[in-house]
Structure 1
Amino acid sequence: MWNYLKAKRKGAIGASVVFFVAAGVASSALAESNEEKIARAMSAAPLDISENATIMDVDGTILREGSNEWVCLPGVGLIPGDKHPMCNDPVWMRWMAAVASGSEFSTEVVGVSYMLQGDAMVNNDNPMATDPNDGGVWVQDGPHLMMLFPNKDLVANLPRDPFVGGSYVMWGDTPLWHVMFPVEAKENTN
C-alpha cells in the first residue's frame, strides 16, 4: 500500500502522507495546550464514547489514557496541521497504523470512526490529490461517520458520488476505500 501512496503523490506531500505526522510548532507561545487538544479530540464523537477514550495526539503521543477501546485524535495527520478531530474504534486504528507503516490492511469485522466536527476538503477519488482545481470530485463533509467493511461486495450498490445524498464510498478504487455516512447536507462546490 505504501508504494501505491508514494506512486500517486510523487513529491506533493511526500513522506508527510502518514497519519501520525509530527506537528511542528514555530513558537511555544503558539503551541496549543494538551487540554485544548483533548477537548477538540473529545468533540469528534458522542460523549459516552469520547469521555472514556484514549486521547492521542497526531504524532502518537498519548495525551490521556482511556478506559474503553476508542482512540480520539485532535486532527487527522493526512493533512499536516489539520484540526478536524476523529474518534476511532480498534479496527480504524489498525487501518491508520497500516497506512502509516505502508502495510496492507484487511478486516473481518466492521470498523467505525466518528468525525462529528467535519473534515477537510478532499478529493473523493484520489487520497493523494492536493489541487482542488484538478477537475476531480472534491468534497468537504460536515459531521459524519466513516466505516470500514471486510470486503467491497458489501458496499457494491453504494454510490461513489458524494453529492447524491446519503452514504457513499470514498477512495473506492484505492486500498484506502471506506464508506462515508454524512449526518447533514453538503453543498457541491465543484
Structure 2
Amino acid sequence: MSRTLLALAMGAVACAAVAGEKDKPAAPFSDDQLIQSATKAAPQKVAAGAKVIAIDDKGVARTLREGNNGFTCMPDNPTTPGPDPMCMDAAAMDWANAWMSKKAPTVGKVGLMYMLEGGTDASNTDPYATAPSKEGHWVETGPHVMVVGAAPEFYAMYPSNADPDTAVPYVMWSGTPYQHLMVPVR
C-alpha cells in the first residue's frame, strides 16, 4: 500500500496516538493495542493470519505483525467519529491505492474489505468528501464488508440511489470508477 493511500485513508495521523481530551496531547498506543484494534475488523480466523500495519503521524506505514493469508489489517483511526479498523485482501489494497491516487482501478480485479467494527460516516456519492454536506448524501455505514473492483454489471444488481437504506446491500459511490458494494452484517 502506498504512503499516499495510508496517509489519506487513515487520516494521516491515526494509529500513532489515542485520542485524548481536546486540549491535551494524545498518549501513544502500544503495538499490542494497535494489533488488537486492527484485528477487530475481520473474522477471527482471517485476522489471526493477517499482516497488521500502523501509520505514524507523517503517514508512514510500519509493520506491527507479519501475516500469511494475504490480508492486511489497520487499526481504528482515533480522529474519526466512529470505529473504523479495516482489513483487506491484496486486490482490495490495489483498488484502495487506485482510489487514493485518483487513478482508475482495474475492473474485474475483485477485492474484499472487512470493517466489522463499523465505519465512519461517509459520503455515499463523493469518493473524496471529507466533511458532511447535504450534497454529499452522508450515510452512517455500521459494521459491513465491501466488495470492490467488480464490473459495472455486478453493481447494477443492487440499489445505487444517493440516500440508500444502509440496512441492506447498496452501492456506494455509484457511477464513479470507485463504486463498491456495501454489505451490512448486523
TM class by shorter chain equals: 0.7 to 0.9
> Is 2:43 the counterpart of 1:39?
no
Displacement of 1:47: 0.7
Q: What does residue 79 of structure 2 align with?
A: 81
Once the two structures are TM-superposed, the CA of residue 32 in structure 1 deviates from its matched residue by: 1.4
CA distance in structure 1 between the aligned counterparts of 2:40 and 2:7, rounded to whole angstroms = 24
Is 2:77 the counterpart of 1:72?
no
Q: Is the 8 A contact 2:49 2:67 kept in 1?
A: yes
Within a 5 Å distance, the mapping from 1:154-173 to structure 2 comes to 154-161=154-161, 162-163=164-165, 165-173=167-175
Q: Deviation string for 1:82-137 (max 9, x for gaps)?
A: 45101101111111222343432114342111100000011101122234243442
Deviating more after overlay: 144-153 vs 37-46: 144-153
Alpha carbons of structure 1 residues 50 and 88: separation in structure 2 relative to 1, 3 Å: same
Letter in 1 for 2:8: V
Equivalent-residue separation in structure 2 for 1:28 and 1:69 (angstroms): 35
Query: Is the deviation greater in 107-116 or in 26-35?
Result: 26-35
1:55 Cα deviation after fit = 0.2
- In structure 2, the partner of 1:151 is 151
Cα separation, partners in 2 of 1:101 and 1:20, compared to 1, 3 Å: farther
* TM-score (ref. length: structure 1): 0.76
- Structure 1: gaps (5+ residues): 1-14, 185-190
SS of corresponding position for 1:57? strand
Q: Distance in 2 between matches of 1:156 and 1:132?
A: 26
Aligned counterpart, 2:177: 175
CA–CA distance in 1 between the matches of 2:130 and 2:109? 31
| Paired residues for 1:1-190 under 5 Å | 18-19=8-9, 22-23=12-13, 30-58=27-55, 59-75=60-76, 81-82=79-80, 83-161=83-161, 162-163=164-165, 165-184=167-186
1:61 alignment partner, SS class: strand
Q: Equivalents in 2 of 1:172, 1:134: separation in Å?
A: 17
Assess, with a 3 A threshold, how the Cα gap between structure 1 residues 139 and 29 changes in structure 2: closer, same or farther: closer
CA RMSD of aligned residues (A): 2.8
Identity %: 34
The number of equivalent residue pairs is: 167
Q: 1:123 to 1:68 in 2, by over 3 A?
A: same
**Following TM superposition, by how much is the alpha carbon of 1:173 offset from its aligned partner in structure 2, in angstroms?**
2.3
Which runs of no fewer than 5 residues in structure 2 stay unpaired? none
Work out the CA distance in 2 between the residues paired with 1:17 and 1:171: 21
Aligned partners of 2:155 and 2:180 also within 8 Å: no
Mapped to 2, the partners of 1:16 and 1:35 lie a distance apart of 20
In the alignment, residue 54 of structure 1 is paired with which amino acid? K
